[in-house]
């Protein structure tokens, strides 16, 4: 009987193929839990993976929303942040302070191919919508994307401050290099958050120099 | 000079204390990456933690939104799912099929205390808003909460189907028990998703019996 009901009901048949496509994407997306980042989690016990990083960032957006610049839609920022690292499933994560991380052309090309493949698993309308959100995030020109990008730069130093300097020590990052690379990127989309973070970074390195 | 600017500017001073509170919450929330669940990630290599699970669920909501019942707000569902497991930082995760998991009074009390402590780190207005969302999720009475709860039940069997039956084998769960416990919980908030999943479960157990 189930077979008969399906044949007689094109909506149900349509639903099945549509959910098949969305679920193929979601199961593939689950691989993001296997992509390791450079930053350590808050207790310093291990490196963070890109899936839990994406959750933490989305929670940053929700919690720090009142400090976003005027006109930012927090719900759109959250959607962007849920999607922003999926390309790393194919292209891997490039640590922000790793040697060569400022030369991004090859990485950008790999991420574009990854976006084609991953979003291409979805029904076409949703593939387009997700790809547009990811492109907007990458371009970092709209207020939503700028705030999302700034949060992506703001979270790791806070993990490092919580766990005693984890990935900074590992990559030999000093205060000047940190300020030079982080400051403009965080202030561009979230100036209030950089104003808050900047003295904490000063305190951290002053204490380290005193030790 | 910085000190003078802060004293002369109560907004900046207010910002600092406000962000201090939100960041204390966000750093504490990072501990969710240390809470292990029973289900294994898609490749079966290790168990999932509650932070990456929360990300995956939020992505389920975003991706399967077109299959939510009428009247569901996907952005509210995503907000709920980002917050829904935070109480596990203090109260731990109770595997759905673990012995005694149906007696929930003690666990509920521990989760309430955890919600008091964790949301209590936030500025009062946001503490109230987050607590209200979490209470709504737990009560599972509004369409948004019912859809969110159904996704929370729908994701683990899909991981198990992807990784060859992981936590079902571990807890000795057979097809009848699975249907009895999952079916009503998934169909209540997401009937289309249960209709899609049910034959996949039948196929999985039929194959297992044939092996
Ligand atoms: Ca990244």
Encode burial over A70-100: b for 16+ CB neighbours within 10 A, e otherwise. eebbbbbbbbbbbbbbbbbbbbebbbbbeee
Least confident of B60-64, B122-126, B205-209: B205-209
pLDDT digits (tens, 9 = 90+) for B16-58: 999 999 999 999 999 999 999 999 999 999 999 999 999 999 9
Query: By the 8 A CB rule, do A194 and A67 touch?
Result: no
Residues of chain A with pLDDT under 50: 1-13
Domains of chain B and CATH, by start: 32-210 (1.10.3210.10)
Compare all CA atoms of chain B with the CA of A12 and give the residue at the minimum distance: B192
Percentage of the residues of chain B whose pLDDT score is greater than 70 = 92
pLDDT digits (tens, 9 = 90+) for A114-125: 999 999 999 999
| Ligand 1 centroid, distance to A197 Cα (angstroms) | 20
The pLDDT of residue B1: 33
Query: By the 8 A CB rule, do B39 and B160 touch?
Result: yes
Encode burial over A181-196: b for 16+ CB neighbours within 10 A, e otherwise. bbeebbbbbbebbbbb
pLDDT digits (tens, 9 = 90+) for B133-152: 999 999 999 999 999 999 99
pLDDT digits (tens, 9 = 90+) for B49-91: 999 999 999 999 999 999 999 999 999 999 999 999 999 999 9
Mark the residues whose beta carbon lies below 5 A from ion ligand 1: A 85
pLDDT over 90 at B189, yes or no: yes
Q: At what angle do helices B143-163 and B50-64 cross, to 10 degrees?
A: 110
C-alpha torsion angle, residues A20, A22, A27, A29 (rounded to 10) = 160
The pLDDT of residue A12: 47
Residue A94 region by backbone torsions, left for phi larger than 0, else alpha for psi between -120 and 50, else beta: beta
More confident of the two residues A127 and B101: A127
| Opening angle at CA B12, ends B10 and B13, nearest 5 | 60
How far is B138 from chain A, CA to nearest CA, in Å? 19
**Closest Cα to residue B95, out of B180, B150, B171?**
B171
Whether residue A63 and residue B2 make contact (CB cut-off 8 A), yes or no, is: no
Q: How many CA atoms lie within 13 A of B23 on its CB side?
A: 21
| Ligand 1 centroid, distance to B180 Cα (angstroms) | 41
**Closest Cα to residue A150, out of A52, A68, A31?**
A68
Percentage of the residues of chain B whose pLDDT score is greater than 90 = 78
Question: The complex's ipTM?
Answer: 0.92
């Amino acid at each position: 009987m189930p077979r008969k009901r399906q044949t007689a009901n094109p909506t149900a048949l349509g639903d099945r193929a549509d959910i098949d496509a969305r679920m193929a994407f979601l199961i593939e997306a689950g691989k993001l839990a296997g992509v390791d980042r450079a930053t350590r989690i808050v207790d310093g016990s291990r490196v963070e993976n890109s899936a839990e990083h994406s959750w933490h960032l989305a929670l940053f957006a929700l919690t720090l929303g009142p400090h976003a610049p005027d006109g930012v839609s927090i719900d759109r920022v959250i959607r962007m942040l849920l999607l922003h690292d999926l390309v790393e499933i194919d292209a891997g994560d490039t640590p922000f302070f790793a040697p060569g991380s400022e030369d991004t052309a090859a990485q950008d090309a790999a991420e574009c191919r990854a976006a084609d493949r991953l979003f291409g698993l979805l029904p076409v309308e949703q593939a387009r919508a997700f790809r547009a959100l990811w492109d907007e995030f990458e371009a970092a020109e709209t207020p939503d994307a700028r705030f999302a990008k700034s949060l992506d730069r703001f979270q790791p130093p806070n993990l490092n401050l919580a766990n005693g300097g984890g990935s900074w020590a590992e990559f030999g990052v000093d205060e000047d290099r940190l300020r030079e690379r982080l400051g403009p990127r965080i202030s561009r989309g979230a100036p209030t958050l950089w104003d808050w973070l900047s003295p904490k970074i000063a305190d951290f390195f002053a204490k380290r120099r005193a030790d």
